[in-house]
Amino acid sequence: MNYWLMKSEPDVYGIADLERDRETIWDGVRNYQARNFLKSMQSGDLAFFYHSNTTPLGIVGLVKIAQSTVIDPTQFDSSSKYYDPKSTLENPRWHTAIVEFVETFPMMLTLDALRQIFTPDELWVVRPGNRLSVMPVPEDVAMRILKKARELG
Protein backbone atom coordinates (compact mmCIF):
# COMPACT_ATOMS: atom_id res chain seq x y z
CA MET A 1 0.00 0.00 0.00
CA ASN A 2 1.13 3.54 -0.77
CA TYR A 3 0.28 6.77 1.02
CA TRP A 4 -0.49 10.14 -0.50
CA LEU A 5 -1.49 13.67 0.39
CA MET A 6 -4.24 15.28 -1.69
CA LYS A 7 -5.13 18.96 -1.41
CA SER A 8 -8.55 20.50 -1.92
CA GLU A 9 -10.00 23.87 -1.06
CA PRO A 10 -12.78 23.32 1.51
CA ASP A 11 -15.02 25.96 -0.10
CA VAL A 12 -14.78 24.01 -3.39
CA TYR A 13 -14.85 20.44 -2.04
CA GLY A 14 -13.92 19.67 1.55
CA ILE A 15 -13.82 16.63 3.77
CA ALA A 16 -17.43 17.27 4.87
CA ASP A 17 -18.52 17.07 1.22
CA LEU A 18 -16.73 13.76 0.78
CA GLU A 19 -18.19 12.40 4.02
CA ARG A 20 -21.65 13.28 2.69
CA ASP A 21 -21.00 11.89 -0.83
CA ARG A 22 -18.95 8.88 0.40
CA GLU A 23 -17.07 8.75 -2.94
CA THR A 24 -15.98 11.22 -5.64
CA ILE A 25 -13.77 11.61 -8.66
CA TRP A 26 -10.70 13.75 -7.92
CA ASP A 27 -10.98 15.78 -11.11
CA GLY A 28 -9.44 18.98 -12.39
CA VAL A 29 -5.76 18.35 -11.59
CA ARG A 30 -3.75 20.14 -14.28
CA ASN A 31 -0.16 19.73 -13.15
CA TYR A 32 1.82 17.00 -14.89
CA GLN A 33 3.73 15.89 -11.80
CA ALA A 34 0.52 15.66 -9.74
CA ARG A 35 -1.15 13.83 -12.65
CA ASN A 36 1.70 11.33 -12.74
CA PHE A 37 1.28 10.70 -9.01
CA LEU A 38 -2.46 10.15 -9.58
CA LYS A 39 -1.64 7.68 -12.37
CA SER A 40 0.67 5.73 -10.05
CA MET A 41 -1.96 5.28 -7.33
CA GLN A 42 -3.44 1.85 -6.77
CA SER A 43 -6.84 0.85 -5.45
CA GLY A 44 -6.60 0.49 -1.68
CA ASP A 45 -3.90 3.15 -1.23
CA LEU A 46 -4.63 5.73 1.48
CA ALA A 47 -4.41 9.50 1.15
CA PHE A 48 -4.47 12.32 3.64
CA PHE A 49 -7.13 14.91 2.81
CA TYR A 50 -5.54 18.37 3.13
CA HIS A 51 -7.56 21.59 3.22
CA SER A 52 -5.73 24.22 1.18
CA ASN A 53 -6.30 27.91 0.44
CA THR A 54 -7.97 28.45 3.81
CA THR A 55 -7.00 29.43 7.33
CA PRO A 56 -5.64 27.36 8.89
CA LEU A 57 -4.19 24.93 6.37
CA GLY A 58 -3.87 21.28 7.28
CA ILE A 59 -4.71 17.61 7.16
CA VAL A 60 -8.33 16.97 8.10
CA GLY A 61 -8.95 13.33 7.30
CA LEU A 62 -8.21 10.15 5.44
CA VAL A 63 -9.47 8.77 2.13
CA LYS A 64 -8.98 5.50 0.27
CA ILE A 65 -8.26 5.20 -3.43
CA ALA A 66 -11.32 3.32 -4.68
CA GLN A 67 -10.30 3.29 -8.33
CA SER A 68 -7.09 4.35 -10.03
CA THR A 69 -6.09 5.33 -13.57
CA VAL A 70 -9.41 7.02 -14.25
CA ILE A 71 -9.61 9.32 -17.27
CA ASP A 72 -10.60 12.79 -16.05
CA PRO A 73 -13.82 13.61 -17.93
CA THR A 74 -13.50 17.37 -17.39
CA GLN A 75 -10.73 17.54 -20.01
CA PHE A 76 -13.35 16.85 -22.74
CA ASP A 77 -16.03 19.25 -21.45
CA SER A 78 -15.68 22.56 -23.29
CA SER A 79 -17.80 24.27 -20.61
CA SER A 80 -15.44 23.16 -17.82
CA LYS A 81 -12.61 25.35 -16.57
CA TYR A 82 -10.51 22.16 -16.77
CA TYR A 83 -11.20 21.65 -20.49
CA ASP A 84 -8.10 20.74 -22.51
CA PRO A 85 -8.58 21.13 -26.27
CA LYS A 86 -5.37 19.17 -26.91
CA SER A 87 -6.74 16.10 -25.17
CA THR A 88 -8.65 13.50 -27.18
CA LEU A 89 -10.60 10.37 -26.32
CA GLU A 90 -7.94 8.36 -28.15
CA ASN A 91 -5.11 10.11 -26.32
CA PRO A 92 -6.31 11.63 -23.03
CA ARG A 93 -3.76 13.81 -21.24
CA TRP A 94 -5.31 13.86 -17.78
CA HIS A 95 -5.88 10.94 -15.44
CA THR A 96 -7.15 10.87 -11.91
CA ALA A 97 -8.60 8.60 -9.24
CA ILE A 98 -11.87 7.97 -7.46
CA VAL A 99 -11.55 8.45 -3.71
CA GLU A 100 -13.69 7.07 -0.93
CA PHE A 101 -14.23 8.63 2.50
CA VAL A 102 -12.51 6.84 5.40
CA GLU A 103 -12.54 9.27 8.32
CA THR A 104 -12.46 12.86 9.47
CA PHE A 105 -9.83 13.45 12.12
CA PRO A 106 -11.08 14.85 15.46
CA MET A 107 -8.90 17.95 14.93
CA MET A 108 -7.01 19.36 11.99
CA LEU A 109 -3.30 18.64 11.90
CA THR A 110 -2.26 22.14 10.86
CA LEU A 111 0.55 23.02 8.50
CA ASP A 112 2.29 24.79 11.41
CA ALA A 113 2.11 21.58 13.48
CA LEU A 114 3.35 19.52 10.52
CA ARG A 115 6.33 21.87 10.16
CA GLN A 116 7.26 21.22 13.79
CA ILE A 117 7.15 17.46 13.32
CA PHE A 118 8.50 16.85 9.81
CA THR A 119 11.38 18.09 7.68
CA PRO A 120 10.79 19.21 4.09
CA ASP A 121 12.50 16.03 2.90
CA GLU A 122 10.14 13.85 4.94
CA LEU A 123 6.87 15.59 4.00
CA TRP A 124 6.78 17.69 0.86
CA VAL A 125 3.80 19.79 1.94
CA VAL A 126 6.02 21.58 4.49
CA ARG A 127 8.51 22.66 1.80
CA PRO A 128 8.49 26.42 1.31
CA GLY A 129 6.64 27.30 -1.89
CA ASN A 130 5.29 23.77 -2.48
CA ARG A 131 2.07 24.10 -4.45
CA LEU A 132 1.74 20.52 -5.66
CA SER A 133 -1.82 19.26 -5.12
CA VAL A 134 -1.02 15.55 -4.98
CA MET A 135 2.15 14.10 -3.49
CA PRO A 136 3.50 10.84 -2.09
CA VAL A 137 3.97 10.33 1.64
CA PRO A 138 6.52 7.76 2.84
CA GLU A 139 4.99 4.97 4.94
CA ASP A 140 6.92 5.85 8.12
CA VAL A 141 5.78 9.47 7.82
CA ALA A 142 2.20 8.34 7.17
CA MET A 143 2.24 6.26 10.36
CA ARG A 144 3.49 9.25 12.34
CA ILE A 145 0.78 11.48 10.84
CA LEU A 146 -1.93 8.96 11.74
CA LYS A 147 -0.61 8.64 15.28
CA LYS A 148 -0.45 12.41 15.77
CA ALA A 149 -3.89 13.02 14.21
CA ARG A 150 -5.49 10.50 16.53
CA GLU A 151 -3.65 11.87 19.58
CA LEU A 152 -5.27 15.25 18.95
CA GLY A 153 -8.72 13.71 19.38
Domains in the chain: boundaries: 3-151
CA 38 – CA 94 distance, rounded (Å):
9
Whole-prediction pTM: 0.95
Segments of the chain scoring below 50 in pLDDT: none
Cα 36 from Cα 34, distance rounded (Å): 5
Superfamily of domain 3-151: ph1033 like domains (3.10.590.10)
Distance of alpha carbon 100 from the chain centroid: 12
CA distances to 4, 25, 102 from 20, in Å: 22, 14, 11
- Close Cβ partners of 90 (under 8 Å, ≥ 6 residues apart): none
Q: pLDDT tens digits, residue range 38-77?
A: 999 999 999 999 999 999 999 999 999 999 999 999 999 9
Q: What is the pLDDT of residue 150?
A: 85
What is the predicted pLDDT for the residue at 153? Answer: 66
Handedness of CA 56, 139, 28, 105 (dihedral sign): negative
Q: Which residues pair with 106 in a beta bridge?
A: none
Model pLDDT, residue 152: 75
Query: For residues 7 and 51, what is the distance between their CA atoms, to the nearest angstrom?
Result: 6
Q: Which residues contact 42 (CB under 8 A, 6 or more apart)?
A: 1, 2, 65, 68
Beta carbons within 10 angstroms of residue 147's beta carbon? 9
Can you count the helices (H) and strands (E) in the chain? Answer: 5, 6
Q: Are 86 and 93 in contact (CB under 8 A)?
A: yes
According to DSSP, the residues that pair with 63 across neighbouring strands are: 47, 101
